[in-house]
Amino acid sequence: MIEGSCHCGAVHWSFAGIPDGATACNCTVCRRYGVLWAYDYEDEGIRVSGPTQAYMRGAAIAFHFCPTCGCVAYWRAREAGADGRRRIAVNLRLAPPGDVATVPIDHFDGLDTFQDLPRDGRCVGDYWF
């Protein structure tokens, strides 16, 4: 299990297991936040706690951040899918670096093509160290 928290410690998340990738997205929001996302479903592989404020991005997702220190903790789908599950992604940059250093980076072109791009061999640790 990997755990992360905002800078002041008010918002926490946990990710069951180790993610098979961390997504670096270049969309108009993610590139500004500088986040690395790990995806699953709320209250299944990912659990979140603590007070947040949300920035609504269109009708699909809301970015949740700590109202005290401002760290972006996760995004969550605004509605559950047809299967009743709600998609969520946590910001791996809020985890201890050693816990996520070997997670491979996946690139997503959220700006132009809305497609996954090939892996380039870099891991989260390559972005930090």
Per residue of the chain (129 residues), give pLDDT as tens.
999 999 999 999 999 999 999 999 999 999 999 999 999 999 999 999 999 999 997 889 999 999 999 999 999 999 999 999 999 999 999 999 999 999 999 999 889 998 999 999 999 999 876
pLDDT of residue 64: 98
pLDDT of residue 30: 93
CB–CB of 23/32 below 8 Å?
no
pLDDT of residue 128: 74
pLDDT of residue 127: 84
pTM score over 0.85: yes
What CATH number is attached to the domain comprising 79?
2.170.150.70
| Number of folded domains that form the chain | 1
Look up the domain containing 46 and give its range: 2-128
For the chain, what is the radius of gyration of the CA atoms? 14
Burial class from Cβ neighbours inside 10 Å (0-12, 13-18, 19+) for residue 63 reads buried
Kind of pairing, strands 105-109 and 22-25? Answer: parallel
Q: Which DSSP category does 20 fall into?
A: S
pLDDT of residue 129: 65
